[in-house]
Every structure is written in structure tokens, then in C-alpha cells.
Amino acid sequence: MEMTVAEALVECLERENVEVVFGYPGGAVLPLYDALYHSTRIKHVLVRHEQGGAHAADGYARVSGKVGVCIGTSGPGATNLVTGIANAYMDSVPLVVITGQVPTIQVGTDAFQEVDITGITLPITKHNYLLKDPAKLATVVKNAFHIAATGRPGPVLIDIPKDVAQARISFKYPSTVRLRGYKPTYKGHPNKIAEIARLMTKAKRPVIYAGGGVIASEASEELLKLAEAISAPVTNTFMGLAGFPGDHPLFLGMLGLHGTRYANLAITECDLLIGIGARFDDRVVMNINSFAPHATVVHIDIDPAEIGKVIATHVPLVGDVKTILKELLPLIEKIDRSEWLSRIQSLKALYPLGYEHGASLKPQFIIEELWNCTKGDAIIVTDVGQHQMWVAHYYHFKKPRTLISSGGLGCMGFGLPASVGAALAAPSGSKVVLVTGDGSIQMTIQELATMMEQCLSVKIILLNNSALGMVRQLQEYYCQGRHMATNFEFHPDFEILAKAYGIPAYTFRTEEEVLKGLGQVLESPGPALVNCIVSPEENVLPMVPAGKGIGETVECAK
């Protein structure tokens, strides 16, 4: 078939079973948008800012397990995508990002709306392409989707000059991918698997430390079987939440900087730490010298670059988590560890999560009531800040792909556009709830228009403390309470603002209003925004102070 490169690109997307793309048009991508006009299989979602497009594609990918696709024009359109690309890269989310570029003859001349987007994104993509040869379009797209979705997932960018997009080619889509330098390891080494099985049998105080790789690999079922077989408690990274049932007796909650004290103490006391699909990042490890000081460390991950990068690993094993756990399970005998589990239960009893009810509405109470209303039967999207940590502690995730949040990059403004993508990917009848803060939502609030244009029934719970709460908390601990540029002296009326977009909105100030109204809002048809007025003085606890070990947790205000 003979067609333009732009038409061929649309054909490629259809061959990759892409159903939704998120984008914002511009001059350099006019040929692509003209080709999209004729597609009957691809739904284009017009976002209100390119960053929103990247985050929406990210949210879509996390819920669906498919590759998310977004489009931006050259220059500022491309640079506006950068934050979303970096976010996906840090959290191992598969994206294919398509950008327009000035004509090839103008590349390198500082032409109008020209930037070197492949150079800019080189450190934050798995791979990227500047397409100069029109004939290579189909191969580049096939490779891009393969790279994005396989191994450790991540974003791939394709930059297409306008004249290349307009060139005519003879189209043939390749049936296979041939990349000599890219061959992810999936099967684990048999000797290492056998060694891990022996260590599990010998250990008296094992702990499983599971991250987002469990979810990416669809290995939650195998993780549950392993934990129950060896009677080992499980703690999740933030990105790993929803990879293990939050109401299971073996669950320790999240570990690390704001982890539960009993999870952190279990790590400190364990004699075998089994890291699965996690990268031992700084928010988990804190002080390297005091992290799991008595443990033999096993690390299972598909990315060899992560193993031994932070913590010395005694038994490294590169491979796909699901594949390895399936190979490991037949070697495991069911083990009774009553003494260790009794110790875990005593730690839970000594250091439970909790907060003091007071005159003001507590954010923790709101998240607890959200859990009571949904019982885990919802997709929860968050922004970044204190509310994100309260969700981690007080909402008990039971199923994979039900927590959608920015982990590694910690990107405020992620939540609202990600909830758009999440809602478009969610199974029919699913509840999608965005928990956000008054700082985060204002960074991408224009995507309320996208949400309404797409007729999405996202319920927004806004924890409004008139402050940048997490930064304010840090200033309280590390700046002797000097709160600089963290208290908002002016706010819009969020209830009126939501109604300006045609969204029903409510303001809650008391626990009674939450108990009376939240369930009704969640069960109501269509979108809604709940503006919850909470105190700026409320801090996220527990917390490990800077420089301290993971077991040195602060549980009350300074």
C-alpha cells in the first residue's frame, strides 16, 4: 500500500491495537492529525495541555496494562511532554510518545518551534528516535512498542519532521522485531532459584519486600502464594501497593520514610530480606548502613542495573518476577513460622497507625471513610503530597492496578489528567476516585475540561489545607517552623470553580458531613468534586528523620 508517512503511522497504531491516544495539535503534527481524522478505530482525546496528555496516557497504561500513547507538536508542545515522560520513566510505565519536528532541512537552524527533543529526553526514555528516513517508519514504530512494553517497561519517543510525515512510502508492517542489542532476560538462573529456595527454608525471620515490578509483571497471585507458603510477612514500596492484599494478615503496609513502624522494624530484625521487583530507592532504604543489618539480601528484578546499585546483594537474580516466582514455588515447602509471626503481631499491636480526632476534620478520617464506602472496589488515583501518604496508610488496596500515582518523580499535577486516562481504561462500571490536594490540582486543573468533554464519572476528593502540606511539614521539622512560601494566602472557591466546569461540587468541614455525604457522592452518577477543609497543621506520620535508620521512626509531632 502506498500512503504518506502520517497515514502509515496511524495504520501502525491500529496494527498495535491502540484504541486511545491523548494529544494536542500544532503545525508540525498537522499531517498526523489529518490522517487521524480518517481513523475509525482510534479515539483521540484532546487534552488542555501536553503535560496532561502524557499523564493521561500514563494513567491509561497503568490501569489497562497496555502501552499508552500521546502526541505533541514541535518546540513547546514537545517540551511540555517532558515532565510526563520523566514520570513514566521513573515509574516504569510503557508509553510511546510521538512528537512533530520542523522539516529536516531546518533541523539545527533554531527554526520556529524547534527543539532537540530527542537530545532533551535521552536520559528519561528507554529509547528514542529522530525519524529521517520515511521508509523506516513502520520498523521504528514496531520497535518502539516492543521496547516500551517488554523487559522493564518505559517510555519511547518518536520525533517525526514535518516533511518526513508528508513523504509517500510503500507501507508494509513488519511481523517481527529484530533488535540485536535488546534482549531482556525473563527466565531466572536455575542454580540461583534453588539457592533462594534453600535460604527460605533455613530463615527464621524472613520478610518479603515487594515493589512495582510485581504489578508490571502481573505476579500478584504468585507473590501471595509465596508469602503464604513460607509464612513471611510482606511489605510494599509505595509503587508496590495493590500488588499484595492490603487486608491480608501477612501484610505489613508500606515501608520506608513514611512507612509503618512495624514494617520498618520487621526489616530491621529480619534475617532474610527477599526483594522482589523493587529498586531499594532512597525513600525506602534511608540510611544504608542500618538497612536490614542482620539479613541475607535476595534481589529479584528484571533490570540488571538495579541489582546491587544501592544495597549489597548476597543473591542476585535477574529475570521476570512472574516467571521466576512460578519456577520458585514448586521448590518451596510450606513452613510454619509461628514465633516470627507472633513477633510481627506484637509489633502491629505496639505501633498501630492512628491519629487524634479533634475539632477539625482529619484527612486520615476522610480516607478511612473512602475505604469504608468502597471496600477496595475502586481505582484510586492520587496526586503527590501528604494526601498521597494518607492514602497509602488508610486505604487498603486489594487488587493490582487500583492505585495510580506518581512515585519516583513525585510529580504534583499528575492526578487529574491521570484520572482521565484511568477512567478511559477502567472496566465498565468501575469507580474512579481522585484524591488530590489544593496545591496539586491547581497545576493541571484545566484538565477538568477534558474530563467533562469525555463524559467521565471521576469523583474528586480534594483535601484542602490551604498549604503545600508536605513542604510545610518539612519546614516544621528542618527549618524550625519557618514556613516560607508554603501557605496559600488566596484560594479560588473550589466548589464554585468545579461548578463552572459543570461538575457537581460539595464542601465538607466536619466528620458528620463526611459520614452523611461521601457515600452518596460516590454512588451518584457522573463526576463530582468534594472540597474537604482540613487543618494545615496535620502531619504525615510515622516519619523517619533525615539521616536516621529505617527503624528510627518518629510517631508524633516534634
Question: Cα–Cα distance between 426 and 419 in angstroms, integer?
Answer: 10
User: Roughly what angle, to the nearest 10 degrees, separates helices 137-149 and 5-15?
Assistant: 30
- C-alpha cell at position 16: 498495535
* Strand-strand pairing, 68-72 and 95-101: parallel
The yes-or-no answer on residue 50 being catalytic is yes
In this structure, how many other beta carbons lie within 10 angstroms of the beta carbon of residue 288? 12
- State the Cα–Cα distance between residues 49 and 54, nearest whole angstrom: 9
Residue 484 to residue 471: CA distance in whole angstroms: 9
Question: Within the chain, how many helices (H) and strands (E) appear?
Answer: 23, 20
Please confirm whether the linkage preceding 542 is cis (ω < 30° from 0): yes
Q: In this structure, are strands 155-161 and 127-130 parallel, antiparallel, or unpaired?
A: parallel
Helix (H) or strand (E) holding 276: strand 272-276
Residue 170 near residue 303 (C-beta atoms within 8 A): no
- Concerning whether 470 is annotated as a catalytic residue, the answer is yes
Active site residue 112: yes
Catalytic residue of the set 470, 473, 508, 538: 470
By three-state DSSP, how is residue 22 classified?
A: strand
For residue 456, give the nearest of 25, 50, 47, 17 by alpha carbon.
Answer: 47
Q: Catalytic: which of 7, 11, 16, 50?
A: 50
Under a CB-based contact definition with an 8 Å cutoff, are residues 296 and 272 in contact? yes
Give the list of residues 6+ apart from residue 421 with CB closer than 8 angstroms, or none: 20, 22, 55, 56, 57, 58, 59, 60, 61, 63, 68
| 388: enclosing H helix or E strand | helix 386-394
Coil/strand/helix, residue 482: coil
Closest CA to 319 of 189, 423, 228, 437: 189
| Site of grid cell 489545607 | 465
**Candidate list 14, 19, 113, 452, residue with the active-site label:** 113
Among 1, 43, 112, 345, the active-site one is 112
Helix, strand, or coil (residue 117) = helix
Q: Which of 66, 126, 142, 162 is catalytic?
A: 162
Integer angstrom CA distances of residue 169 from 1, 3, 255: 8, 6, 54
Q: With b meaning 16 or more CB within 10 Å and e meaning fewer, what string describes 435-463?
A: bbbbbbbbbbbebbebbeebebebbbbbb
Sign of CA dihedral 115, 8, 179, 68: positive
Strands 43-46 and 379-382: unpaired
- 480 an active-site residue? no
Active site includes 443?
no
What distance in Å separates the CA atoms of residue 190 and residue 317, rounded to the nearest whole number?
10
Q: Is the dihedral of CA 474, 477, 483, 484 positive or negative?
A: negative
Q: Which residues are catalytic?
A: 50, 112-113, 162, 470
